[in-house]
Amino acid sequence: MTREESVPAYWAQANRALAREDQAMAGLIRRYRGMSLVSRGEPFATLARSIVGQQISVKAADAVWARFAAVVGAPDGAIKAEAVLAAGLSGLSDCGLSARKREYLCDLAARFASGAIVPERWQAMGDEEVIADLCAVRGIGRWTAEMFLIFNLLRPDIYPVDDLGLQKAVSLLYFSGERPAPRALAAFGERWRPWRTVATWYLWRSLDPVAVVY
């Protein structure tokens, strides 16, 4: 998959719409011109990386993921469910993962390997339907499901109000450093519909110019 193929088709349209309505967002769009959300299109790796990144910083998650990928990654860099199953709980013990996260990753791998999870069906489902489907999997909550919708399915209007980075960026850019309550944050995000994924991506960049690719 080339970068051009993986960039969302709506990106330019969303940029124009957001820049017209929000001066602060327009500044971010200018600052990060030429960059965009991209997807690697690998459902298992996207979900696995989201589990690895739960409740830790981006820097810490990158370090743990690098160790995890060194254990289970194929020569071409692909992360496959079968390799995670082959490693097992003990094989993942030196990756810096908590015992709970190792259990989650092995359970996720078992579901993919057995066919209990069928990613193809998500393409035809609405955002909340996909979230409900994913949250039925052990270790996957709403935040992880939302990361999947953003980074794998490239859905245009996801707004992960529980994400610490989003909360911090909105507080700094729009609330003079005061972090809004969840309900206020959700209400504030309505200004960016139907492109809240794009707004969220730029808000993340305001804190860290290096884009995470799940």
Q: List active site positions.
A: 163
Give the closest residue to 48 by CA, choosing from 105, 120, 121: 105
Q: What is the DSSP string of 158-205?
A: ---TT-HHHHHHHHHHHSTTPPPPHHHHHHHGGGGTT-HHHHHHHHHH
Kind plus residue range of the DSSP H or E element containing 145: helix 142-151
Distance from C-alpha of 6 to C-alpha of 57, rounded to nearest angstrom: 26
Whether residue 182 has a cis bond before it, omega within 30° of 0:
no
6 Cβ contact list (under 8 Å, min separation 6): 38, 39, 40, 41
Nearest-angstrom CA–CA distance, 180 and 192 = 17
CA distance 115 to 166: 34
- Which amino acid, one-letter code, is at 87? A
Give the total residue count for the chain: 214
